[in-house]
Amino acid sequence: MKNYHWLLLITFIGFLLRIIGLGDKPLFIDEALFYFYVQDGGANQEFTTVFIAQILGLNTDYQLRMISVIAGTLTIPAVYFVLKDKSTAIFASAFVALCPLFVFWSRLARPYSFAGLFVVLGWRWAWFYIPAIATTPIALIGVRIWKQSKYVLATAFVTAVILFLIREDSNRNWTIQNAINSSRFFVIPMYAMVLCAFDYLFPCMQHKYK
């Protein structure tokens, strides 16, 4: 079976994991806040996903969560196409498709899987980091610093700072413990770690032990 056939199968399995039972539970508090942003007509955080939901006229729990499902599913083939070594890229796609952390955040009406998709695309096309950070400033953690131009990095950093400062919760008491206890802080860095591992670490190890 060729890699593309495997990729289609892996993407389909990943989609099923994200879509089955999607509307069984009502929105939890942060998802309800996202619903309010979409219906209220304005927001000072989660701009990209709110804008898309408003343009599409999404107004149900299921529809709002579908943004994350679609983004999370598209990230699976995106990982494959941005990585150089296709012999290991298929395993990276499988990891993204099946990883419980990615599956969980791809089933919620939250911006993290959407931002994760842009971070993955930014691995090859750097300017995708800007919409990623416009979705959530946390995406700045996923930027591949050593490969990007100073213009991309400067724009990304300024965008993240501005968006963070105008967030409603920018005055929240942010602590290290808060970050450790919340898995949302690990989703986007985890995407970057997967890309780094499968683009550099594993191919180097494979070459070393040949």
pLDDT band at 167 (very low <50, low <70, confident <90, very high): low
Report the Cα 60 to chain-centroid distance in Å: 22
pLDDT > 50? residue 126: yes
Distances (CA, A) of 113 to 84, 117, 170, 199, 203: 22, 6, 21, 21, 26
More confident position, 86 or 167: 86
pLDDT > 70? residue 178: no
Which parts of the chain fold into alpha helices (H)? 3-19, 29-40, 47-56, 61-82, 86-98, 100-105, 112-122, 129-135, 150-165, 176-181, 184-196, 202-208
In terms of residue numbers, what domain contains 43?
A: 3-208
pLDDT > 70? residue 118: yes
Domain count, the chain: 1
pTM of the model: 0.84
Residue range 110-114: mean pLDDT, rounded: 90
pLDDT > 90? residue 121: yes
Residue range 78-93: mean pLDDT, rounded: 91
